[in-house]
Amino acid sequence: MIKQVLIGIICGAAVLTAGILIGHFGITKSSSSAPSWVTDVTKDVDESLIEKFLSEVDNIQIQENLRELTKVPHMATTKGDEQTVQLMLKRWQDPETGLDKAWREEYLVYLSFPDPKNPNKVTVVNQSDIPYAAYSPAGHPKGKLVYANQGKPSDYQLLNQKVDLRGTIAITRYGGAGRGAKAINAAPYGVIGVLVYTDPLDINDGLMSDTNETYPHSWYLPPSGVERGSFNGQYGDMLTPYLAAKDDTYRIPVENITGIPPIPIQPIGYEDAYILICALGGEAAPESWQGAFNCTYNFGGPGFKPTSAFADSDVKLDIFNSGSLKNSSNVMGVIRGSVEPDRYVIYGNHRDSWVHGAIDPSSGTSVMLELTRVLGRMVKQGKWRPRRSIIFGSWGAEEFGLIGSAEYTEQYFAKLSERTVAYINVDIAVFANATLRASGMPSVQDVIFTAAKQVAAPGLDSTSVYDNWIRYSNRTSPNNGIIPKLGFLTGAGSDYAAFVHYLGITSMDISYTYDRSKTNARIYPAYHTAYDTFEYASKFIDPGFLSHQAIARTAGNVLIRLADSLVLPLKCSDYAETLDEYLNTAVSLYENQLKDREISMEPLKHAVASFRSAAAHLDHVIRTSDLRNETPLQVRKINDQLMLLDRAFLDPLAFPDKYAYRHVIWASSSAGKATFPGLADAYANAELSNDSQDWEKVHYHLSVLSQAIEGAAQTLQDVI
Amino acid sequence: MIKQVLIGIICGAAVLTAGILIGHFGITKSSSSAPSWVTDVTKDVDESLIEKFLSEVDNIQIQENLRELTKVPHMATTKGDEQTVQLMLKRWQDPETGLDKAWREEYLVYLSFPDPKNPNKVTVVNQSDIPYAAYSPAGHPKGKLVYANQGKPSDYQLLNQKVDLRGTIAITRYGGAGRGAKAINAAPYGVIGVLVYTDPLDINDGLMSDTNETYPHSWYLPPSGVERGSFNGQYGDMLTPYLAAKDDTYRIPVENITGIPPIPIQPIGYEDAYILICALGGEAAPESWQGAFNCTYNFGGPGFKPTSAFADSDVKLDIFNSGSLKNSSNVMGVIRGSVEPDRYVIYGNHRDSWVHGAIDPSSGTSVMLELTRVLGRMVKQGKWRPRRSIIFGSWGAEEFGLIGSAEYTEQYFAKLSERTVAYINVDIAVFANATLRASGMPSVQDVIFTAAKQVAAPGLDSTSVYDNWIRYSNRTSPNNGIIPKLGFLTGAGSDYAAFVHYLGITSMDISYTYDRSKTNARIYPAYHTAYDTFEYASKFIDPGFLSHQAIARTAGNVLIRLADSLVLPLKCSDYAETLDEYLNTAVSLYENQLKDREISMEPLKHAVASFRSAAAHLDHVIRTSDLRNETPLQVRKINDQLMLLDRAFLDPLAFPDKYAYRHVIWASSSAGKATFPGLADAYANAELSNDSQDWEKVHYHLSVLSQAIEGAAQTLQDVI
């Protein structure tokens, strides 16, 4: 009986235990168990997915993309441009490898074209194709030729001391001054027309023979190559400042456009420039004005040497350009985010070219198409969906002044400002195949480094893109030791401009570029000419497309990390390091003289110190917190601090004379100092004029700057 | 045996079942159980807590707060002001009923004061105390007196047809034009000084005898009462536009200040005005210029009737005001949010008065102190911590032009813009004890209604504040039927201005106010005079302080709901309703004439339609989603859409002539039409001048407006 009881108790205990186990592990709790979303919201970037992405990026696909994209010239709003629109849409809407959604968005924008029935002419010389200077006025100026070097203000000033410039035509070489500036600087002296050409010194390392030196024998520009470009002074559609250029949008009168050439200007090839310049009379120009032609560059009599074939001929420009409103398209594509669809990582490049545009911009577009093919397939197969949304933009009419991207940011200003984590720009993906080049806000340095360390350098299997990069370009960072040198995005060189300067979105620009020990070319020699073709690119820029592949892998890696990381990979202490350097430069350049004028730099020092300490604190919080086990709102709080950091540097009133420049740290500057741009410019201006009102402007800008940096520091501090 | 087996099986089953139950319910799961934060992040507002709050708000506490606050005059930056700073700090730092943290923030601001050693004088008449017009220049103009009604442009225009105004002193009554405008409008006619007084018609329902009609016999202003005020034209410190007024901040030269009187102006009581006006010679002024004095208001000869005691005397002003830089303090206090500390609900009122300021602003401050006492105690006792952070602001120097609140928004622009859910302003809490009055963005209507329905109307136990309100002021809403009428915050009447117009933060202003069937007073009669005292307030404005209590309950209820609700109680479809009404008005007023000028209103119609449909969609999503069981990031996404809605309406370039007005829907307007302010003003201007450039400005503003509304609609649509 006792035994039976014992057995009964033991069995009962066993059954009870079994029951407890079943009850505990076998049945899902409804009330207190974790909701299914807990795992999703705390998930971090998946390194194996990045491996997979890197292995799937294919150089031959990129090559074939480029071949397809460059079949016909695709200048903005032409038939060729429309073909590329259709190509992008087809790829991004592909059921196997496309994105969640893709569509086109049109803007009615003001462009400038030559007249096909009346090709622009430069008499004395003749031209075969129709290159032109976009936004040059039409006109038929005729006058004696003079040589004005690079068309800088100082060039015309010197030239004017030698020659009466009234009624002359000036020939200038590219470089040194903005395109339009060469004409704008000329007009006050009475110059009535301008020519611009590419000197072999600046683009071809001096070489100029098309029988054995230039393309197709090398990457150098042949004598007939003409560099085109937009000769305007601000970015975005010029008739609709700050407004998206929709059909009914208010447009300023064309005559109110500022910053474009007031007199006709025309680009020519150096074969023509050679004939003209070597025939010029007058005194010899200074050494620094001399180019690669085998003759002395004279100022001009004005006009030609009496002994030359042209003797006292005039040069006549017949420019038939005209402005017109055209529909330009952006092609947009998205992959919806799974956890934070309201956070955007934007990746973009322009689609339009001047002629075939193999390198500019189709190298970048080929890379973008390969990225979207690999990512799109993972999405379509259900293998991946990013935490945050990804937006791809194929911008229109960049060549005319970053128009498509600027109009996009104007139209969606609020939404993009509120939600965009970062913008990645890959325009010319490969300038040359030597090394990575990256520019951006300092906070993106770390994620670019991480990505570059995971990608093999093209042609160097055991060296990473990062290790290769550090050999070509490096600096010593107080925080990080010797590291590759990241550039800054201080100008409006590509479609990042509106994102950086107008919206204050953390941005970067990524490419492969030159070995500067091998060339001094201003840029790859076929830039903006009819020679920028698939053949040129595949033979002389990146045979095998391995540098394209490296860019696709690096930029794609950055993209995935920005889209998938639990905590945004943006490092604010790297930003602080740059502000510190800017401050040190400013103090050493300006403090003494400002003290004499009772303008204190203490508020700026205080602001940078606040920023430094707030950034260090936030970095520390990120490093030491177990954020995967924190509430997702705690992570979101930190991510919002990181995402919105650059927005805090915006002040729409900081640069009243610079269109759409609002970022007080990165605005363009003419002072040429490695410090805060508005301060440097205001100081240079005051120093020049020594006008007390100009010194007050220095004080004003110091206050603007200090307030913005203090405000940014506030956003990094503990939130309350 | 079978029986035993059966019993065994049954027992075994029972034990197993018990085991399963114990296992399932008795033991907490560790691996897959919900993290502790899941409950917190999905918690909604607690109605029982609101009940508790309402029951604890005490009218006697408010009365004692007011008694304490009004013991001495506390004009900005005076000793009395400092006493109130100390009081606020003491209360907010109280260990039992204080906030988490409280501190003061100082700004060095430009104020204007009379000279205690040289009281301002108006000769012919004499004054006992030192009232003055802040920012009136000093000066000693002497001339013949004229009567200029309200000092509007049209008043001076008419008067100038009757009298040569050169060298005259104009006497004007309050109302009709801004304070400073009365002098600004006068100067072009050669007027050299201005007096301003309060006519008994406008403030006292015509009554003026101090022996039996005015205070202390009633709430009406006694004859010696002088209304002070700031005579400036923009808000915030005038020397540091857009910059926080810190010690080293750049300051514009005083002579560059615009919008302040160019000639001396001085306020006087109506006992003095009576003597002057009834002695004036010249032709009788029109009917609409007549006030309540028992004489005919004449234009002035200029000067007095030959038969009057003053005969051909001049009137002389001796104004000794001077500007000076003073340290003004905001007192700030916070309650940290538990779940979303990076979301702020801000509640504020100014602290400075002109004299004792019992009603303006101490009624609001008394209410704020009672709110913080009740909430602070709940926090200190560990009974409550809001989901979001609450910031309390006791602003300095409001009376001089909303200076403290404006400087605060300038200093913390980025942080406040990014994180502020709403701003609640309670300045004058009780103008009178008849009914609630509330103004704000339309999206706050719903939460104010919810709160007002839960509070008993003062003195009417079975009627809610809401039910009482709807009797006094109502309208028919297409969406909501007959509802109380919410006002809009289109001007800069109190500290909400910088939040609404400069930062685009959803704001509201709440008070108790008049029964308009009982008085036509422009405002409560003791406004800005030395009669605005505790005795006046407790005897004639709100005996028993029940209206104060109702405001504390209503505003506090709104505050708790904004801080604690899972989904922000901001209703964007109510915003859409207002935009629809604005659009309808604009179309009926402007469309035909704009069509004639080939300016299309279609983009505006499209924008409002986009907004309407996006708002309806978002409302639907909120109504139909089970958001407590969604990921907290989904809720945050919606809350961000609601929080940032007003930010999308900002355009810093929309109103180049209006300082710190950026909100395209609520900016001040002089056209007097219930529609989009910039459009209405541009249209009125173009209609007047009929200049084609002015019509272009109408087109321009239409584009600005359409783009802002489309942009706002975009932020409400599905995020990607």
> What tokens appear for B125 in the block?
């008449």
B711 touches chain A (CB under 8 A): yes
CA–CA separation, A683 vs A691, rounded Å?
A: 11
B246 touches chain A (CB under 8 A): yes
Q: Which residues of A are catalytic?
A: 398
Chain B partners within 8 Å of A24 (Cβ): 23-24, 27, 29
Over residues B499-550, the pLDDT tens digits come to 999 999 999 999 999 999 999 999 999 999 999 999 999 999 999 999 999 9
CA–CA separation, A556 vs A57, rounded Å?
A: 9
pLDDT (average), residues B5-25: 58
Q: Which residues contact B234 (CB under 8 A, 6 or more apart)?
A: B241, B258, B259, B401, B659, B660
Give the per-residue pLDDT at A116: 87
B30 — pLDDT class (breaks 50, 70, 90): very low
In the numeric block, the tokens 């234009």 are attached to B299
Residue closest to A73 by CA, chosen among A652, A532, A546, A448: A532
Q: Which residues contact A51 (CB under 8 A, 6 or more apart)?
A: none
B11 touches chain A (CB under 8 A): yes
Given a cut of 60, is residue B31 above it in pLDDT?
A: no
Give the per-residue pLDDT at B22: 59
B16 — pLDDT class (breaks 50, 70, 90): low
Over residues B658-667, the pLDDT tens digits come to 999 999 999 9
B678 touches chain A (CB under 8 A): no
pLDDT (average), residues B225-229: 96
pLDDT (average), residues A173-194: 97
Given a cut of 60, is residue B635 above it in pLDDT?
A: yes
Give the per-residue pLDDT at A33: 74
Helix axes B546-564, B59-69, angle to 10 degrees: 100
Give the per-residue pLDDT at A290: 98
CA A298 to chain centre: 37
Given a cut of 70, is residue A455 above it in pLDDT?
A: yes
Mutation for B interface: A408, A410, A633, A706, most B CBs within 10 A? A633
> What tokens appear for B59 in the block?
């009218």
CB-nearest to A32 from B15, B33, B418 is: B33
- Put simply, the answer to whether A341 touches B720 (Cβ < 8 Å) is yes
Given a cut of 80, is residue A208 above it in pLDDT?
A: yes
Q: Which residues of B are catalytic?
A: 398
Given a cut of 50, is residue A252 above it in pLDDT?
A: yes
B419 touches chain A (CB under 8 A): yes
Residue closest to A389 by CA, chosen among A333, A341, A347, A421: A341
Q: Hey, is B508 helix, strand or coil? A: strand
Residue closest to A474 by CA, chosen among A505, A436, A529: A436
Distance in Å from the first CA to the final CA of chain B: 71
Buried b (16+ CB within 10 A) or exposed e, B59-92: bebbbebbbbbbeebbbbbbebbeebbebbbebb
pLDDT above 70 covers a percentage of chain A that reads: 95
State phi, psi for B704 to the nearest 5 degrees.
Answer: -60, -45
CA A181 to chain centre: 21
The residue in chain B having the minimum alpha-carbon distance to the alpha carbon of residue A646 is: B414
Q: Are the C-beta atoms of A651 and A657 separated by less than 8 Å?
A: no
B382 touches chain A (CB under 8 A): no
CATH class of residue range A115-320: alpha beta
CA–CA separation, A153 vs B545, rounded Å?
A: 74
Mean pLDDT of chain B: 94
State phi, psi for B327 to the nearest 5 degrees.
Answer: -85, 120
DSSP state of B443: G
- Put simply, the answer to whether A23 touches B23 (Cβ < 8 Å) is yes
CA–CA separation, A104 vs A90, rounded Å?
A: 12
B628 touches chain A (CB under 8 A): no
B29 — pLDDT class (breaks 50, 70, 90): very low
Which residues numbered 500-559 in B keep a CB inside 8 Å of some CB on A?
Answer: none
A-B C-beta contacts closer than 8 Å: 226
Distance in Å from the first CA to the final CA of chain A: 72
CA–CA separation, B171 vs B122, rounded Å?
A: 11
- Put simply, the answer to whether B696 touches A250 (Cβ < 8 Å) is yes
Q: Which residues contact A381 (CB under 8 A, 6 or more apart)?
A: none
CA–CA separation, A159 vs A140, rounded Å?
A: 23
Alpha helices in B474-631 (DSSP H): 496-497, 534-536, 546-564, 572-596, 602-624
* Secondary structure E strands in B310-401: 315-318, 322-335, 340-350, 388-395
Over residues A128-147, the pLDDT tens digits come to 557 999 999 999 999 999 99
Q: Which CATH number fits domain B572-716: 1.25.40.10, 1.20.1440.130, 1.20.930.40, 1.10.3720.10?
A: 1.20.930.40
Q: Are the C-beta atoms of B535 and B610 separated by less than 8 Å?
A: no
- Cis upstream peptide for B216 (omega within 30°): yes
Given a cut of 50, is residue B28 above it in pLDDT?
A: no
CA–CA separation, B520 vs A73, rounded Å?
A: 75
Over residues B61-91, the pLDDT tens digits come to 999 999 999 999 999 999 999 999 999 999 9
Helix axes A632-643, B632-643, angle to 10 degrees: 40
B129 — pLDDT class (breaks 50, 70, 90): low
Give the per-residue pLDDT at B323: 94
> Side chain identity at A585, as an amino acid letter?
T
Q: Is A124 left (phi over 0), alpha (psi -120 to 50) or beta?
A: left
In this structure, chain B runs to a length of 720
Give the per-residue pLDDT at B557: 98
Could you tell me whether strands B193-197 and B265-267 are parallel, antiparallel, or unpaired per DSSP bridges? parallel
Give the per-residue pLDDT at B720: 86
Residue closest to A13 by CA, chosen among B16, B74, B709, B602: B16
Mutation for A interface: B24, B251, B566, most A CBs within 10 A? B24
| CB count in 10 Å sphere of residue A336 | 17
DSSP state of B115: B
CA–CA separation, B369 vs B552, rounded Å?
A: 9
A703 touches chain B (CB under 8 A): yes
CB neighbour class for A481 (10 Å; exposed up to 12, middle 13-18, buried from 19): exposed
CA–CA separation, B591 vs B38, rounded Å?
A: 54
The three-point CA angle A348-A351-A355 to 5° equals: 145
Give the per-residue pLDDT at B84: 97
Which residues numbered 680-699 in B keep a CB inside 8 Å of some CB on A?
Answer: 696, 699
Give the per-residue pLDDT at B127: 52
Buried b (16+ CB within 10 A) or exposed e, B268-301: bbbbbbbbbbbbbbbeebeeebebbbeeebbbbb
Given a cut of 70, is residue A266 above it in pLDDT?
A: yes
Q: Hey, is A683 helix, strand or coil? A: helix
The order of strands in the sheet holding A315-318 is A121-123, A315-318, A142-143
Sign of torsion over alpha carbons B390, B395, B399, B402: negative
The residue in chain A having the minimum alpha-carbon distance to the alpha carbon of residue B716 is: A415
pLDDT above 90 covers a percentage of chain A that reads: 90
A18 — pLDDT class (breaks 50, 70, 90): low
A28 — pLDDT class (breaks 50, 70, 90): very low
pLDDT (average), residues B449-471: 95
pLDDT (average), residues B460-464: 89
CB-nearest to A600 from B26, B248, B712 is: B248
Over residues B603-613, the pLDDT tens digits come to 999 999 999 99
The complex scores an ipTM of: 0.93
Over residues B693-717, the pLDDT tens digits come to 999 999 999 999 999 999 999 999 9
A460 — pLDDT class (breaks 50, 70, 90): confident
Question: Which fold is adopted by the domain B47-112+324-455+488-564?
Answer: Aminopeptidase (3.40.630)
Q: Are the C-beta atoms of A597 and A640 separated by less than 8 Å?
A: no
Residue closest to B655 by CA, chosen among B581, B708, B610: B708
A30 — pLDDT class (breaks 50, 70, 90): very low
CA–CA separation, B323 vs B138, rounded Å?
A: 10
CA–CA separation, A357 vs A494, rounded Å?
A: 15
The residue in chain A having the minimum alpha-carbon distance to the alpha carbon of residue B704 is: A243
pLDDT (average), residues B596-621: 98
- Cis upstream peptide for A361 (omega within 30°): yes
Over residues A572-596, the pLDDT tens digits come to 999 999 999 999 999 999 999 999 9
Give the per-residue pLDDT at B14: 62
pLDDT (average), residues A425-453: 98
Q: Are the C-beta atoms of A500 and A666 separated by less than 8 Å?
A: yes
CA–CA separation, B586 vs B674, rounded Å?
A: 8
Chain A partners within 8 Å of B504 (Cβ): none
Q: Hey, is A63 helix, strand or coil? A: helix
B589 touches chain A (CB under 8 A): no
Residue closest to B641 by CA, chosen among B709, B562, B712, B561: B712
Q: Are the C-beta atoms of B53 and A49 separated by less than 8 Å?
A: no
Domain ranges of chain A: 47-112+324-564, 115-320, 572-716
The CATH number given to A47-112+324-564 is: 3.40.630.10
* Side-chain half-sphere exposure of A533, counting CA atoms within 13 A: 10
Given a cut of 70, is residue B128 above it in pLDDT?
A: no
Q: Which residues contact A484 (CB under 8 A, 6 or more apart)?
A: A436, A438, A449, A452, A466, A469, A470, A473, A474, A475
In the numeric block, the tokens 């301060």 are attached to A679
pLDDT (average), residues B450-465: 94
Give the per-residue pLDDT at B476: 97
Given a cut of 70, is residue A12 above it in pLDDT?
A: no
Give the per-residue pLDDT at B23: 53
Over residues A336-391, the pLDDT tens digits come to 999 999 999 999 999 999 999 999 999 999 999 999 999 999 999 999 999 999 99
Output the CA torsion A17→A21→A26→A27 (10° steps): 80
> What tokens appear for A476 in the block?
């010593």
